[in-house]
Structure 1
Amino acid sequence: MDCEDTHHFFASYKHLNLGWGEVIVAHSVVKAQADNVTVFSVELKSTDFVALFVELDAPGVLGYWSSNSFLMLANETKTVHFTVSGEDMDQFSEDTFSQLITVNWLQKSYDNSITDVAVQ
């Protein structure tokens, strides 16, 4: 089993100087359908900081993410995939799904000034 997101910290999280920033859904969400499966590809971009425990959600859509609760380094771009389950496969367009996505990370939980992330 290959683990691409293995990182080691030599201090507790509260003692790390991670900085503040945002993780945004970059540009667009791409929908692909093949073999009776619908997958949305979502590109994320972090600003000039390290984001711990980045988590994605698509409330109201039944399915699963290819990766969730991961670390993003400063100015990193990461593409994750959401596989839609069951009868929801044809119900969501790229635009509709884009509006449903929420992105959270550790520092955001400490900062009330950061609001929901919008697609740019």
Structure 2
Amino acid sequence: MAPTSQKPLALKSVRPNVMEVEYGAFRGYVDVIDHSQQTPMCKTYFCRTVWPSRDMAEQQAMELARGLQRARAPGASRAMLLTAGLSDATAGRKPLEFVPVSLVKQQPTVPVAKRHLRLVA
């Protein structure tokens, strides 16, 4: 049986982010980090438009990142989308996803009737 040469697993990280180019003007960009070689290579793609709101720039950066993730190189087996630099709403996270349940105030299932002050005293 002939030995087969196994190619190392090609992994790419796609990381969208937003920077403030001047006061009140935001621009989205995406870092694509290729981990397939000895030393990781990073390439940055910038969005075309500068937005007056951070939310719009984050949305455009996320769209660009998803497009780059779909159009990955044929040798790449996986492209991971890392959204830690974006807000929770843009990244698709729930607002209290990382908060322990013990710290979240639970809504009562049965409505509590308020007593009148005269009844308590």
TM-score normalised according to structure 2 size: 0.39
More strand by share: 1
More helix by share: 2
